[in-house]
A and B are shown apart, each in its own frame.
Chain A
Amino acid sequence: MTPSEKNGAAIAPPNGRRAKKPKKNGRPEAPSRFYGTPLPGVKLEELSGTLFVLEGTDGSGRSTQISLLTEWLESEGFAVQTMGLRRSFLVGADIDALMAENSVTRTTLSLMYSTDFFDQLERRILPALRSGLIVLADRYIFTLIARSAVRGIGRDYLHGIYEMALRPDLTFWLNVRPEIAFDREFKKAQTISYWESGRDMSLSNDLFQSFIRYQSLIKKEFEYLSKRHGFIELDGEGSVSDVNRVLRKQIAKHLGIRSTHYQPSHALSHLWR
């Protein structure tokens, strides 16, 4: 456990539902809602909403599941807010522009993503959680940490930056083999993008090899992150409906709702395969 996590654990859990009895060694079992130093000016007791995170590499089916979960939760009467990478008003478009050029360096890109993340956290997620909404995050700090770590940026450095991030209520990891992810991504775009295949890392001149090596490195990082942060690992190679059923079950349990029955509407039925 890092010093920052120790500090975080010292902060009282925000409400009774999350509070658990201290273990025998006296350390509280329930972690704080922040990893370390909380964001300046945030009152934890105001955050009545719930944050669910879906993580997984490109082609793991995250976005499909987010669409389906949003519809299901809304039909159950929950208001949903979503977040994802490069969606901040402050720098979202700037990151797209940086990535289109070949001049951006790894630390700059990493910090631009951090800016993007914290802008969304402060301007979109925290207000939503204060209003009692359910936030579904299409990727979170873990993808950002993994991508930077495989490029040689220190893991402690990255965890240090994101210690002010809000700890999710549940983090799901849709785990797929790189080969399967390749098939899915290729089918989607008829090619493989520069960043998805980690071409900035000079892993291989062959796109397939580069993609597999890059995604394997990312997967290794996720295996480490999964242990460290207690992910719920799901088989992302299962059918959409199977994965969705497991997600609904876990989320329903966390929210304390019984009904997990769901059939996608006509608008989303094409995703149900």
Chain B
Amino acid sequence: MRLHPGIFHMATVLPDITVDAEAAPVKLRAAKREYPGALVVVEGIDGSGKSTQLYLLKRWLEIGGYRIHFTEWNSSPLVKSATRRGKQRRLLTPTTFSLLHAADFADRCERQILPLLHGGYLVLADRYIYTAFARDAARGCSPRWLRNLYSFAPTPDITFYFRAPLDVAVNRIVAGRPKLKYYEAGMDLGLSLDRAESFRIFQERILGNYDQMIETDHFVLMDGTVPVNKLQKLMRQILGDKVDLAQFAPNKK
């Protein structure tokens, strides 16, 4: 995004007014080295094995006594009731679906992720903004609009992208859940009257959108078909290479 030189005319007005420091303009693509913490996220379609792997990584770090925090997509209590109501009554359009999830993410970002990063934590996120990019674009939202919407989010230090063949991933989910939920299956898009079929087509679109971000967003590609323990070993190795774990170790403060 381009900044307009004339737009920040307010800068001449603000100094004589005591606005607290927090009210600084939201940086587009917040620089990741503005804080001592680190952000590690996992992405991938449902059934790609990402949550299992992040859980194992979290356990490993927890047992080791590291300063970590684990956060999940769609979990903040502030907007949970609205999200639930919208989903139950099927009130959500692609735009309001996207905005409500962005509001939810903003709450988690401003009240958990950013303070923890500034406080020197290693933050582990199960799904991040790329979930919104892949999923909401599959619903028809403009990718450019989505990028702008989430531009307040800090860029991750590592984004593990778990990729499994569509059939493997879809079968893992369909086999494990008696009934797919309406929005989860992408039923709002009218792709198919059959929920399992709709889910499959929807996931295929999402998978395509994820694949397009591998290079542009520097994803670390993880093969979701590799045995769990081997993949976890690799994940720990990559984490150790890219993040200075000693900084979060228990003996350090």
Contact = CB atoms under 8 A, between A and B. Distances in A.
A122 B95 contact: yes
A91 B79 CA distance: 9
The majority secondary structure among interface residues of chain B is helix
Interface stretch (A43-51, A160-168, A171-179, A181-189): A160-168
A137 B26 CA distance: 29
B78 interface: yes
B93 interface: yes
Contacts of A39: 95
A108 B79 contact: yes
Interface stretch (B138-146, B194-202, B218-226): B138-146
Interface stretch (B39-47, B81-89, B170-178, B228-236): B81-89
The majority secondary structure among interface residues of chain A is helix
Interface stretch (B1-9, B64-72, B204-212): B1-9
B165 to A, nearest CB: 30
B95 A157 contact: no
Q: How large is the interface on A (under 10, 10 to 19, 20 to 34, 35 or more residues)?
A: 35 or more
B28 A154 contact: yes
Q: How large is the interface on B (under 10, 10 to 19, 20 to 34, 35 or more residues)?
A: 35 or more
Nearest to B80: A94
A190 interface: no
B243 interface: no
Interface of B: 1-4, 7-10, 13, 17-20, 22-26, 28, 78-79, 81-82, 85-86, 91-96, 99-100, 102-104, 106-107, 109-111, 140-142, 144-145, 148-149, 151-152
Interface of A: 2-3, 36-37, 39-41, 89-91, 94, 98, 103-108, 110-112, 114-115, 118-119, 122-123, 149-157, 160-161, 163-164, 201-204, 213, 217, 220-221, 224
